[in-house]
Structure 1
């Protein structure tokens, strides 16, 4: 049984590789469930897929230095930007697919954490438009 430990995920927003700041990345996609049950369904519920959507959740280790994470993310707040994620930073291929699309930068947490914690920024961005999977 194949197994994998994520040790070098690739994360890019707006064409900028943010992997060095990222310690967790989660891309989820879903489709709305639409009930199309009729009397002809013979007592069984029937469903179809409706609108599709997704979410990109990221946890960053914060960096406030000039040209670093906070100065990259702050101007993106409120805009729709492209993203790319893949299991490793290696070249895209059949064993290292990439997922791409666009997300709305709907939130930014410049400061998050308590006394003695790492300076982190946990965020979640909704997808905007199609999410695609590619192996080349």
Structure 2
């Protein structure tokens, strides 16, 4: 990836796409340094890595009146934990995605008279910050059961985990339209014998979910998101990310 100017950053939290209401997004990650300096350190400070943490902060233009707007979502999620996904260069399939499960820690709005109404907010991680790829784009409506593009992310080593997020951004249809997402793996791009590794809860409304495997090694190297859709005239917009950490 070459140098680039930030013009198409995508920000998703829960079932909200805050891209059009954001003009700044920052991601940070750190590991505590624990002092272990002793008399055998030869005059040099020694440290060990302690607890790791990450944070996603954003700001932009305030909007309200819909569950997908920043004010509605921020008030409903304040103090709650859920998925956050950030795409530095958009959210196309295979594009870089940073995602985590995070606590909506703070929310601020308002400014001086005559200013465009702003918002700022912060989410603090409760899971690792995963560097993965988008497995499904947010702008493609799905109306029937199907599968996404296969991606070669590599195997999952013992002690590592596969992580996946799902943001359901819109739901339409009658007779309870429902989408159930899942993550499949195989040893080849054609997915002749796919294995389901993670299954999201059935969703009938906008919202977000994030899942991870249990740390058992997985030798398959190809991955994709798949979904089962039911209901009368259903239509869903959703975005999903997959990564290994």
TM-score w.r.t. length of structure 2? 0.51
Q: 1:108 matched to which residue of 2?
A: 107
Partner of 1:88: 89
Cα deviation for residue 104 of structure 1 reads: 0.9
Structure 2 Cα separation of the partners of residues 15 and 69 of structure 1: 11
The match for 2:127 is 129
Structure with the greater alpha carbon radius of gyration: 2
Counterpart for residue 243 of structure 2 = none
Q: Distance in 2 between matches of 1:119 and 1:55?
A: 24
Return closer, same or farther for 1:101/1:66 CA change in 2, 3 Å cut-off.
closer
Secondary structure of 1:72's counterpart equals helix
Give the gaps of 5 or more residues in structure 1: none
1:43-54 aligned within 5 A: 43-54=43-54
> What are the Cα deviations for residues 58-104 of structure 1, in whole angstroms up to 9, with x where unaligned?
002111234432122211111011100011224253xx411110111
Q: Report which of the two has the higher share of strand.
A: 2
Superposition deviation, residue 40 in structure 1: 1.2
Q: How many residues align?
A: 133
Distance (whole Å) between structure 1 residues aligned to residue 51 and residue 98 of structure 2 = 19
Which is helix-richer, 1 or 2?
1
Q: Which of structures 1 and 2 has the larger relative contact order (alpha carbons within 8 angstroms, sep 6+)?
A: 1
SS in 2 for 1:20: helix
Separation in 2, partners of 1:101, 1:80: 10
Q: CA RMSD in A?
A: 1.8
Q: TM-score, length-normalised on structure 1?
A: 0.88
